[in-house]
Amino acid sequence: MEYFLDMPQHYAKAENAKYVLIPVPYDGTSTYMKGAEKGPQAIIDASDSIELYDIQTGLEAYKSGIFTDKHTYSFLSPEKMVEEVKERVHYFLQQNKRIGLLGGEHSISTGAIEAFAKLYPNLSVLQIDAHADLRDSYNGSIYNHACVMRRAQEFANVVQVGIRNVCTEEKNSIIPENIFYAHGICGKTEWMKKAIDRLTEYVYLTIDLDGFDPSIAPATGTPLPGGLLWYETLTFLELLFKSKKIVGFDVVELCPQSESKITDVLAAVLVYKIISMMEKFN
């Protein structure tokens, strides 16, 4: 597919779109399974299977227009990638578009978060993820996917949900009241309000698909057992959207598998759910 969702082409044109999806097919610093550069197109392709009416919100959010960006990146280095993404996000922010990024590995979030932080000085970042991603540097780069939330802390207040993998180095960068470990929230709901209360008014939402349990989202570069399930995540997101202003988002770390499209579809549905919640609550 050329653009997200099987919708009439009129709604996919930039001049008619309230929303912009920016595919960033980058996989330059992944350290386990490669293939995240194929994630954005896999999400777009899987979106062909989605109905345009969203049951949860009762909306056909596509009617507000969703443009899928066609920009080509050079990706000469992690540093260059971050700068290019920042510039692209800034370009659409100047047009007052509502922006989501399709990854690609998690390092693509860094440039986007920096761009949003310039527009929203009191920005918070809500991270759903299996990994803390708080290393200051990894494999010779401060823009490695393992460093994305450490960089985000330089620009914003960061709240982390679903974390279940942390290295010793990262412990010094953890803010205890801002992290909600998977083992501590499993089977509970009271954590949701506590996490949202740690956020400021304006929030950038970043979702690494390995934040989900691999039983429902196996196709990620670094899957880990014990993640979030679908409906508890949607319950949390709905409460989030009702409570805060979500100014932008990304869905990252899809590593497509040829034998199964389950995670591709989950990611595509998630993107449309986020847009639908933006439309209804923000």
What pLDDT is recorded for position 144? 87
Q: Find out whether 30 and 39 touch, Cβ atoms under 8 Å.
A: no
**Exposed, middle or buried, 96 (CB in 10 Å: 0-12/13-18/19+)?**
exposed
Summarize the confidence of residues 254-259 as an average pLDDT.
95
Statement: residue 30 has pLDDT above 80: no
What pLDDT is recorded for position 31? 66
Q: Find out whether 39 and 256 touch, Cβ atoms under 8 Å.
A: yes
Summarize the confidence of residues 34-63 as an average pLDDT.
96
Summarize the confidence of residues 19-27 as an average pLDDT.
97
pLDDT band at 34 (very low <50, low <70, confident <90, very high): confident
Statement: residue 204 has pLDDT above 80: yes
What pLDDT is recorded for position 139? 85
In percent, the amount of the chain with pLDDT more than 90 equals 93
How much is the pTM?
0.97
pLDDT in tens, 92-144: 999 999 999 999 999 999 999 999 999 999 999 999 999 999 999 888 889 98
